[in-house]
């Protein structure tokens, strides 16, 4: 229970990696605010898993690219658990589609950046006044942000590279307030993300090329989040932590 008494907010916290993070933080003693947008059924399943294990959580629907929804998330979190937020995990985002440059227009680029980068900025700025001494912010970058991504994913990769850089900048800016900022860079994790966007043959080839010879699991990523959220990582900030089974070394 290394997060006992802590309050955590997880954007995109209702499915896949986000769900695993929400459940793990609750299992470690945190009270969790689970944000979701289109995954209402999964949000209920996530709450049930937390409550069945004796944890505390609420679910709040909201589009993190819209300021009014971000503000509502802050309001609901404070109303439920008090004015201090200890942990913020920015999971919300997505690839949207794989496209070669010939099929990409300005609107698509702007949407990808808004979904992955601007949303993290909006949420972090909104919650920052609630974060006190010892707070921890965990962003989600990607292996794609390290190596440019797979076919047609360069726009997504660019947005995740921006997250990695923003993480380093925030670590410098927020450090004097004793608020740490780190990011995770997951590789091939077995989630509906890859069910939707990555062919089975490609996934098998990636797993075979990975030193650990498999895909990662959402729960393994959640374990890393819990570590970065806890005092066990109290001297880590500005870190972009690779979690890819040894497939890519930064």
Residue 31, H or E segment: strand 31-36
| pLDDT reported for residue 121 | 98
Please report, for the domain that includes residue 17, its CATH number.
3.40.50.720
| Other residues' Cβ atoms within 10 Å of the Cβ of residue 193 | 18
229 falls within a domain: yes
8 Å CB contact between 24 and 225:
yes
Q: Catalytic pick from 36, 37, 156, 227?
A: 156
Q: How far is Cα 150 from Cα 173, in angstroms, rounded to an integer? A: 32
210 falls within a domain: no
Domain extent for 111: 7-188+218-243
124 falls within a domain: yes
| pLDDT reported for residue 110 | 98
Q: How far is Cα 224 from Cα 91, in angstroms, rounded to an integer? A: 13
8 Å CB contact between 203 and 194:
yes
Closest CA to 183 of 231, 145, 137: 137
2 falls within a domain: no
| pLDDT reported for residue 196 | 76
121 falls within a domain: yes
| pLDDT reported for residue 192 | 79
DSSP character at residue 30: -
| pLDDT reported for residue 39 | 86
Active site residue 227: no
1 falls within a domain: no
- pTM score, whole prediction: 0.95
66 falls within a domain: yes
Q: Residue 34: helix, strand or coil by DSSP? A: strand
- For the residues of 43-94, what is the DSSP string, one character each? HHHHHHHHHHTT--EEEEE--TTSHHHHHHHHHHHHHHH-S-EEEEEE----
71 falls within a domain: yes
Q: Which residues of the chain have pLDDT under 70?
A: none
161: phi then psi, degrees, rounded to nearest 5 = -60, -35
The structural domain count of the chain equals 1
Beta strands, E only, 112-211: 131-140, 180-186
| pLDDT reported for residue 193 | 72
CA terminus-to-terminus distance, the chain: 32
């Amino acid at each position: 229970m290394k997060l006992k008494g802590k309050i955590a907010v997880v954007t995109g916290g209702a499915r896949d990696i986000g769900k695993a993070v929400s459940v793990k933080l609750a299992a470690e003693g945190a009270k969790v605010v689970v944000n979701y947008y289109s995954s209402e059924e999964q949000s209920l399943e996530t709450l049930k898993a937390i409550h069945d294990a004796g944890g505390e959580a609420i679910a709040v629907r909201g589009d993190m690219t819209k300021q009014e929804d971000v503000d509502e998330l802050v309001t609901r979190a404070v109303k439920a658990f008090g004015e201090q937020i200890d942990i913020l995990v920015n999971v919300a985002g997505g690839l949207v589609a794989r496209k070669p440059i010939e099929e990409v227009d300005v609107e698509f680029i702007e949407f990808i950046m808004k979904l992955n980068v601007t949303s993290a900025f909006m949420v972090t700025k909104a919650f920052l006044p609630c974060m006190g001494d010892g707070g921890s912010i965990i962003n989600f970058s990607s292996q794609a942000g390290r190596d440019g991504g797979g076919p047609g994913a360069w726009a997504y990769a660019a947005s995740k590279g921006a997250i990695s850089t923003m993480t380093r900048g925030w670590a410098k800016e927020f450090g004097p307030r004793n608020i740490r900022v780190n990011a995770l860079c997951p590789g091939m994790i077995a989630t509906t993300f890859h069910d939707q966007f990555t062919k089975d043959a490609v996934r098998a080839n990636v797993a075979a090329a990975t030193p650990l010879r498999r895909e990662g699991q959402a729960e393994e990523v959640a374990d890393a989040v819990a570590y970065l959220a806890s005092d066990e990582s109290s001297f880590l900030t500005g870190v972009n932590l690779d979690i890819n089974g040894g497939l890519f070394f930064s």
